[in-house]
């Protein structure tokens, strides 16, 4: 499923993804700055594959996917995936495709909107994620919305001649910061 429009601060919104947004995924993910902390990168990088992914994502009842919009321009994606509706638990993820906009707080605001939606609209009990331990920006963005570390998976994947660890986080409604 695609999530509804959720407006946030400083020009950041979560909006339902369109096929045109999905097509932006390919050029974004092929930029070295964007995939800096990803594990092995392989797969079918074709428009047809993106069309198929778009259709499957829309039909999938266990995920909520958004395009991140910054001043009404698509700049990345975020979502909650593999939702178990009995446990009320899901795995979250985010990526900013426009590396020229890194450092502006877009990810932090997108994570805040996504996490608030999980508690206030989906009534989830828990959200968890895996983040490259070296990706301090992403970890910090998630921690600001109440994610805390539940573990560390050492030597998770090999990249550019060295091992990368992964940080495992979890968040609950009671860890979400009070909003002023």
Partner 1 sequence: MRVRRAHGVWHEPAMPATWKEWFKETAKEKQAVLWSIDADGTLVGFALAHLWSMGNGFDINQLVIDPDRWRLGFGFDAALALHRFVFDYLDLRVMTADVRADNAAAKRIADRLGYTEFAHGHEVHYRDGAYVDELKLRMDKETWLERWSSEREYPPLAADATR
Q: Which is nearer to partner 1, 11 or 157 (CB)?
A: 157
Q: How many CB atoms lie within 10 A of CB 53?
A: 15
Q: Which is nearer to partner 1, 40 or 180 (CB)?
A: 40
The footprint of partner 1 (CB under 8 A) covers 39-40, 84, 86-89, 125-126, 128, 150-155, 157, 168, 170, 172
Tokens of 133: 């331990």
Q: Which is nearer to partner 1, 36 or 128 (CB)?
A: 128
Cα→Cα distances 159→36, 95, 162, 163, Å = 9, 18, 6, 6
Instruction: Provide, rounded to whole angstroms, the least separation between the CB of residue 154 and partner 1.
Output: 7
Instruction: Provide, rounded to whole angstroms, the least separation between the CB of residue 135 and partner 1.
Output: 17
Cβ neighbors of 37 (< 8 A, separation 6 or more) are: 131, 132, 134, 135, 138, 164
Going by C-alpha positions, the residue among 88, 61, 74, 60 that lies closest to residue 15 is: 74
Instruction: Provide, rounded to whole angstroms, the least separation between the CB of residue 151 and partner 1.
Output: 2
Instruction: Provide, rounded to whole angstroms, the least separation between the CB of residue 49 and partner 1.
Output: 16
Q: How many CB atoms lie within 10 A of CB 166?
A: 20
Q: Which is nearer to partner 1, 5 or 155 (CB)?
A: 155
Instruction: Provide, rounded to whole angstroms, the least separation between the CB of residue 167 and partner 1.
Output: 10
Q: Which is nearer to partner 1, 11 or 39 (CB)?
A: 39
DSSP code at position 65: E
């Amino acid at each position: 499923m695609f999530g509804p429009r959720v407006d946030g601060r400083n020009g950041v919104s979560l909006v339902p993804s369109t096929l045109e947004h999905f097509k932006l995924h390919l050029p974004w993910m092929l930029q070295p700055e964007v995939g800096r902390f990803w594990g092995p990168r392989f797969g079918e990088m074709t428009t047809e594959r993106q069309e198929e992914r778009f259709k499957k994502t829309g039909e999938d009842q266990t995920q909520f996917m958004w395009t991140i919009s910054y001043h009404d321009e698509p700049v990345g994606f975020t979502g909650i995936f593999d939702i178990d509706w009995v446990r009320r638990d899901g795995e979250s993820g985010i990526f900013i495709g426009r590396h020229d906009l890194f450092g502006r707080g877009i990810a932090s605001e997108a994570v805040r909107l996504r996490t608030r939606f999980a508690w206030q609209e989906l009534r989830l009990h828990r959200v968890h994620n895996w983040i490259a331990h070296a990706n301090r920006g992403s970890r910090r963005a998630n921690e600001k919305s109440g994610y805390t570390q539940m573990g560390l998976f050492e030597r998770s994947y090999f990249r550019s001649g060295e091992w990368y660890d992964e940080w495992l986080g979890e968040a609950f409604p009671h860890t979400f910061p009070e909003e002023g």
